[in-house]
């Protein structure tokens, strides 16, 4: 009965998160770059991330006391595992850097003017973004993956996780949707092997910060405002 309640709460939160993504897509605030190469509003992105955190954190707040759901410090760490994780982090950082260059070319191709903003706005964006990614991975690679492992074999649990993960990116471009498959598989494998969501958080955070940091560096003009 309790497992059923957990699954039901996960589905409700997933549906709410999906609908929020749809609304954000309609307003042009689903990703940093949207529609015809335009930069999204950082304020709208921050609002979307904060609302998403509130939605995805609900199952954690309700059920964490009775089950860690992989949301714990790694219990199965080896030197080879650490080296492998660092290698993938380095690889993802390179991919993110190259992807940001392609995105910058897209901005130039559509003649999108640079936006003016303050350093504090950029710092606020990245702080909220990192917090969102932590909650995001705790939901998908934490609670969702751990729960599906209770009702299905490892292979099927990973497939279910990938389907749910890819589905919430349906409002993104085709490249990002396809990239979700290998990244989601990598995150699931590390989570199960380490019995912790920490590797998935590191992988996702590093990729996002490098990609979005490089992109914003080329797409913004810092205003003299200090606020």
Report the C-alpha dihedral over residues 167, 61, 133, 50, rounded to 10 degrees: 90
The mean of the pLDDT values for the chain is 85
User: Could you give the CA distance from residue 17 to residue 177 in angstroms, rounded to a whole number?
Assistant: 17
Q: What's the token pair of residue 18?
A: 């999906």
pLDDT < 70: residue spans in the chain: 33-40, 65-67, 102-117, 218-227
Give the chain's length. 227
Bridge partners of 222?
117
The SS3 of residue 172 is coil
User: Could you give the CA distance from residue 137 to residue 183 in angstroms, rounded to a whole number?
Assistant: 12
Q: What's the token pair of residue 104?
A: 């910058």
What pLDDT is attached to residue 82? Answer: 93
Residue 204 in contact with residue 165, Cβ under 8 Å? no
The per-type count for the chain, helices as H runs and strands as E runs, is 9, 4
pTM for this prediction: 0.88
What pLDDT is attached to residue 213? Answer: 86
User: Could you give the CA distance from residue 70 to residue 7 in angstroms, rounded to a whole number?
Assistant: 16
Bridge partners of 221?
116
Give residue 227's Cα distance to chain centre.
28
What pLDDT is attached to residue 219? Answer: 60
What pLDDT is attached to residue 76? Answer: 74
User: Could you give the CA distance from residue 46 to residue 145 in angstroms, rounded to a whole number?
Assistant: 26
């Amino acid at each position: 009965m309790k497992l059923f309640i957990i699954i039901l709460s996960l589905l409700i939160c997933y549906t709410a998160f999906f609908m929020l993504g749809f609304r954000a897509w309609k307003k042009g605030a689903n990703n940093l770059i949207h529609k015809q190469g335009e930069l999204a509003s950082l304020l709208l992105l921050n609002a979307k991330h904060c609302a998403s955190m509130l939605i995805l954190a609900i199952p954690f707040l309700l059920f964490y006391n009775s089950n860690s759901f992989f949301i714990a410090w790694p219990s199965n760490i080896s030197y080879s595992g650490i080296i492998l994780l660092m290698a993938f982090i380095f690889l993802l950082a390179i991919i993110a850097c190259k992807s940001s260059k392609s995105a910058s070319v897209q901005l130039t191709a559509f003649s999108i003017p640079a936006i003016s903003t303050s350093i504090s706005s950029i710092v606020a964006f990245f702080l909220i973004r990192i917090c969102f990614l932590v909650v995001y991975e705790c939901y998908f690679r934490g609670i969702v993956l751990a729960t599906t492992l209770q009702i299905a074999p490892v292979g099927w649990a990973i497939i279910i996780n990938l389907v749910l993960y890819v589905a919430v990116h349906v409002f993104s471009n085709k490249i990002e949707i396809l990239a979700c498959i290998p990244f989601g598989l990598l995150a699931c494998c590390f989570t199960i092997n380490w019995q912790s969501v920490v590797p998935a958080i590191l992988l996702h955070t590093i990729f996002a910060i490098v990609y979005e940091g490089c992109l914003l560096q080329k797409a913004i003009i810092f205003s003299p405002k200090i606020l």
